[in-house]
């Protein structure tokens, strides 16, 4: 019962924060500097880990599918399988999970410490809404950077699959054949679906992390608790949203 009320409270305050942030959208052009800074923090710093992880996911997918499809003599379809899995599902989900770990945690830590050390209170007495200068630029930045991250995850993942497909003895498919298979069964719609998913997940991760950070109460020890809560909540949310968004987009 206590957990349920806390979950409902959390949903309520998150939506409230969203509405507040949206009401400040007209101030966005003036906050260009903050927006660029957040794009850098969200996009540029997450990029290396996204690239590394998607390369290996693509490779492993090729390896696994090569191993099992060889039995059916269907290994020429490896490219399609790797391509579709990454574009529709693994790319966006992986980007969002990395975002939760890398960016969601950092946002929660920063805002929680601002709250604990009364910086948020100071902003409020100055009549500067935290939603305007702390939340809105981050939401705008994640909307711009998430598709970029997801596209890079796709490309690197496909490429990783291609390399494994060529150099593994029992697969040995040349890149042109691999990419031809990849293109044959994939439509633009598949990639677009993946990008929409990434966008939804990324937005949710940033919004939830901001809200948890801003609602921190108590002393410095609560900062750590807020970070953990932000990451765990983000991960659960990503998986729940994944189901519903996938269903809606089918």
Record the tokens describing residue 168, joined without a space. 């593994």
Q: In this structure, are residues 177 and 76 in contact, taking their beta carbons and an 8 Å threshold?
A: yes
118 binds another protein (CB under 8 A): yes
Closest residue by Cα to residue 77 from 181, 3, 186: 181
Distances (CA, A) of 84 to 51, 136, 154, 163, 198: 18, 33, 10, 17, 15
Q: Output 122 or 232, the one with its CB closest to another protein.
A: 122
| DSSP E strand stretches across the chain | none
Q: Output 5 or 125, the one with its CB closest to another protein.
A: 125
Minimum distance from residue 241 beta carbon to another protein (Å): 31
32 binds another protein (CB under 8 A): no
Whose structure tokens read 């993946």?
194
| Backbone angles phi and psi of 109, in degrees to 5 | -65, -45
- Enumerate residues 6+ apart whose C-beta is below 8 A from 200: 241, 245
25 binds another protein (CB under 8 A): no
- The residue count for binding another protein (CB under 8 A) is 14
C-alpha 14/C-alpha 149 separation (Å) is: 25
Q: Output 115 or 197, the one with its CB closest to another protein.
A: 115
7 binds another protein (CB under 8 A): no
Single residue of 47, 64, 119, 249 touching another protein by CB under 8 A:
119
C-alpha 206/C-alpha 203 separation (Å) is: 5
Residues 132-171 close enough to bind another protein by CB under 8 A: 133
Single residue of 14, 80, 113, 193 touching another protein by CB under 8 A:
113
Interface mask (CB under 8 A) for another protein, residues 196-235, using x and -?
Answer: ----------------------------------------
125 binds another protein (CB under 8 A): yes
Interacting residues with another protein (CB under 8 A): 110, 113-114, 117-119, 121-122, 124-128, 133
């Amino acid at each position: 019962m206590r957990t349920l009320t806390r979950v409902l409270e959390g949903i309520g305050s998150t939506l409230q924060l969203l509405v507040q942030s949206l009401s400040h959208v007209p101030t966005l052009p003036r906050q260009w500097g903050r927006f660029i800074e957040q794009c850098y923090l969200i996009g540029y710093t997450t990029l290396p880990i996204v690239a590394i992880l998607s390369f290996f996911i693509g490779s492993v997918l090729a390896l696994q599918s090569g191993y099992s499809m060889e039995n059916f003599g269907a290994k020429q379809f490896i490219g399609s399988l790797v391509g579709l899995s990454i574009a529709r599902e693994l790319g966006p989900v992986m980007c969002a999970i990395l975002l939760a770990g890398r960016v969601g945690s950092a946002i929660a830590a920063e805002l929680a410490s601002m709250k604990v050390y009364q910086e948020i209170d100071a902003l409020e007495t100055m009549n500067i809404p935290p939603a305007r200068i702390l939340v809105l630029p981050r939401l705008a930045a994640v909307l711009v950077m998430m598709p970029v991250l997801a596209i890079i995850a796709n490309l690197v993942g496909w490429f990783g699959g291609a390399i494994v497909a060529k150099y593994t003895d029992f697969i040995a498919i040349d890149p042109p054949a691999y990419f031809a298979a990849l293109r044959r069964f994939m439509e633009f719609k598949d990639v677009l679906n993946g990008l929409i998913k990434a966008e939804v997940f990324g937005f949710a991760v940033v919004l939830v992390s901001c809200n948890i950070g801003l609602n921190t109460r108590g002393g410095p020890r609560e900062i750590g608790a807020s970070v953990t809560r932000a990451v765990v909540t983000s991960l659960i949310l990503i998986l729940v949203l994944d189901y519903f968004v996938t269903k809606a987009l089918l």
